[in-house]
Amino acid sequence: MSAADGDTGLLEGLIQQNLLNEELLGQLGDHAERLPDLEQLRQLLRMELLAEEALLPLLSERYGLPLLAESTASLSPFPEAGRCREVYAQTGIVLMGDEQARIGVLTVQADWLAMNRLELELEPGSPIQWRLTSHARLSWLVAAMAHPQRSQDASALEAAAPKLQSLLEEAVHHRSSDIHLESVPEGVQVRFRVDGILQPGPLLPKSLQPSLFSHIKLLAGMDIAIRRRPQDGHAAYHSRSGREFDLRVSSMPGINGEKLVLRLLDQMPVQHRLEALGFLKQDMEALEQASQAAHGLILMVGPTGSGKTTTLYAILNALNSSERHIFTIENPVEYQVSGITQVSVNPEQGLSFAEALRASLRQDPDVILVGEIRDEETAEVAVKAALTGHLVLSTLHSGDAVTAVQRLLNLGIARDLLADTLTLIVSQRLVRKLCPHKEENPDCPRCQGTGYAGRIPVYELLRVNRLVRDRIRAGYTGRELVEPHKDLHFQTMEQTAQRLVQEQLTNWREVRPLLLAT
Ligand SMILES: [Zn+2]
């Protein structure tokens, strides 16, 4: 094999074997030509332009690094888990084995120069046998290393990894937000939630269930021994297309066995732009005006899954600049955004919303997002923060804008205080957006023939201006707060729905259930 002999360059060898071509190399740009071959190859892999698995046999031969065997069931971290994690973090190399046989596992991307150093460091003892493997396989080893007591099931678990990846890729491809894996007598029924509606997926064989479920739970840092109690966990997922997701996994015991739900949270902040969300023009202005103010309380209300957090993050993204200190306090943090301070609260472990909020106020913030106001203490601190020169954004579980005011009063906030701080209330739901395709087309790539692609908010928006403030102070409750008046800026859900249907963004079938429910 010519690629293995020393006279042929690595890249040249790959080209001869049709594993690489000039066009792909060109994607690296001119500056890359001066880099060593191996470094160019690493860049191509990072850009996901090459399939790593296909290259491994050639690299193995060329560099005299045998491939890692299929089964690693008998391996455990060596010399000890803590040191192993440290080595992995520094070099990308995983050390495994025991006193007799030590194995160092590395990928193309690892720090190969560290091989010598580790050999010296781990002497005396038998020399390290180096093994080459793929990034995916190494990630699995690292996950298993974090849960060494489970490694006896290792090879079965490895079979589940490609299945999980194909499910995740399918979900990403169809813009699915959740994957449901349900134990049924015939096997595991997969369903994908797309634009808010569950769509049937494949029925997986029963034999795959134990390893697939264990693999998912391991990745998400959950205890695979627990099957009869609900659990949750999370993991990062990098899709083939280069997008990053936070994978939220929850498990639930069902009568036919466990049920897992995997939620895919897109970490790409660019999607969270206000203009892209679909608010009508005059309402966008109200949102912008309230969010540009130096202080005040902006509330998003609606049930779980109504897009409240997405809208709040769109506001945060618009405000995010080096001149503003932005804090988010959530349970847990939903989207990671650079440039802002994010705190995950965990009431079970003793850090409550109210406590984190009070601590954040000592750090001189300009804008604070409080994930949810649901108790008197949080309500009180949030309102005080809004009163003392901070812009506070939060959510509330309530049916509409008017009941949100009542909720805060019920949580013990004084009328005057509320009137002085509240600036805007948006109550929103999501409906499916019509696919812009013109004719009936079952093969439409955007909607797969369903006729819908993406979702838009249908919302009610109340601007708390002088008129509404006076009404709150005067003790108006319920619909009295929004009695028609020339100064009232109140866009009802029905009005929004009408506009969206008129503009053919959605249809009555989608909005009618919402209007009937409110
Ligand atoms: Zn379509």
| CA–centroid distance, residue 506 to ligand 1 (Å) | 13
What is the side-by-side strand order in the sheet with 197-205? 197-205, 187-194, 176-184, 257-266, 244-254, 231-238
Task: Determine which helix (DSSP H) or strand (DSSP E) holds 250, and give its type and residue range.
Answer: strand 244-254
What is the side-by-side strand order in the sheet with 391-396? 341-344, 326-330, 367-370, 391-396, 296-301, 422-434, 452-463, 490-491
| CA–centroid distance, residue 272 to ligand 1 (Å) | 23
| CA–centroid distance, residue 420 to ligand 1 (Å) | 47
Q: Which residues contact 414 (CB under 8 A, 6 or more apart)?
A: none
Amino acid 60 reads S
pTM: 0.61
The neighbour count for residue 166, using CB atoms within 10 Å, is 11
Bridge partners, residue 234, by sequence: 248
| CA–centroid distance, residue 243 to ligand 1 (Å) | 23
C-alpha torsion 386→390→393→398, nearest 10 = 0
Alpha-carbon gap, residue 434 to 454, rounded angstroms? 8
Rounded to an integer, the average pLDDT of 412-435 is 94
Cα distances (angstroms) measured from residue 440 to each of 199, 358, 436, 444 = 20, 55, 11, 9
| CA–centroid distance, residue 262 to ligand 1 (Å) | 26
Cβ proximity of 295 and 389 under 8 Å: yes
Rounded to an integer, the average pLDDT of 346-359 is 85
Cβ proximity of 353 and 331 under 8 Å: yes
Q: What is the pLDDT of residue 307?
A: 87
| CA–centroid distance, residue 438 to ligand 1 (Å) | 8
216's tokens: 């998912």
Q: Is the pLDDT at 2 greater than 50, yes or no? A: no
| CA–centroid distance, residue 432 to ligand 1 (Å) | 12
Backbone angles phi, psi at 260, to 5 degrees: -115, 140
Q: What is the pLDDT of residue 268?
A: 63
* Burial classification of residue 86, based on how many CB atoms lie within 10 Å of its CB (0-12 exposed, 13-18 middle, 19 or more buried): exposed
Q: Is the pLDDT at 239 greater than 90, yes or no? A: no
| CA–centroid distance, residue 253 to ligand 1 (Å) | 37
Q: What is the pLDDT of residue 149?
A: 47
| CA–centroid distance, residue 196 to ligand 1 (Å) | 16
Query: pLDDT digits over 43-70, tens only?
Result: 888 776 777 877 888 888 888 889 887 6
| CA–centroid distance, residue 200 to ligand 1 (Å) | 19
Cα distances (angstroms) measured from residue 70 to each of 19, 74, 81, 329 = 23, 11, 22, 44
| CA–centroid distance, residue 445 to ligand 1 (Å) | 7
Query: pLDDT digits over 116-164, tens only?
Result: 888 877 766 667 889 998 877 777 677 666 655 444 455 566 678 888 9
Q: What is the pLDDT of residue 4?
A: 42
Among 266-280, 419-433, 434-448, the range scoring the smallest mean pLDDT is 266-280
Query: pLDDT digits over 176-230, tens only?
Result: 989 999 998 899 999 999 888 888 899 998 888 888 998 898 888 888 777 788 8
Nearest residue to 274 via CA among 260, 285, 259, 262: 285
Query: pLDDT digits over 21-32, tens only?
Result: 887 788 787 777
| CA–centroid distance, residue 439 to ligand 1 (Å) | 8
Q: What is the pLDDT of residue 72?
A: 57
| CA–centroid distance, residue 443 to ligand 1 (Å) | 8
CA atoms within 13 A on the CB side of 23: 3
Alpha-carbon gap, residue 274 to 220, rounded angstroms? 31
| CA–centroid distance, residue 263 to ligand 1 (Å) | 24
Query: pLDDT digits over 74-99, tens only?
Result: 566 666 767 777 888 788 888 887 66
| CA–centroid distance, residue 516 to ligand 1 (Å) | 28
Rounded to an integer, the average pLDDT of 375-389 is 95
| CA–centroid distance, residue 175 to ligand 1 (Å) | 14
Alpha-carbon gap, residue 287 to 283, rounded angstroms? 6
Q: What is the pLDDT of residue 257?
A: 86
- What's the distance, CA 286 to chain centroid? 29
pLDDT > 90 in the chain, percent: 34
165's tokens: 């990846």
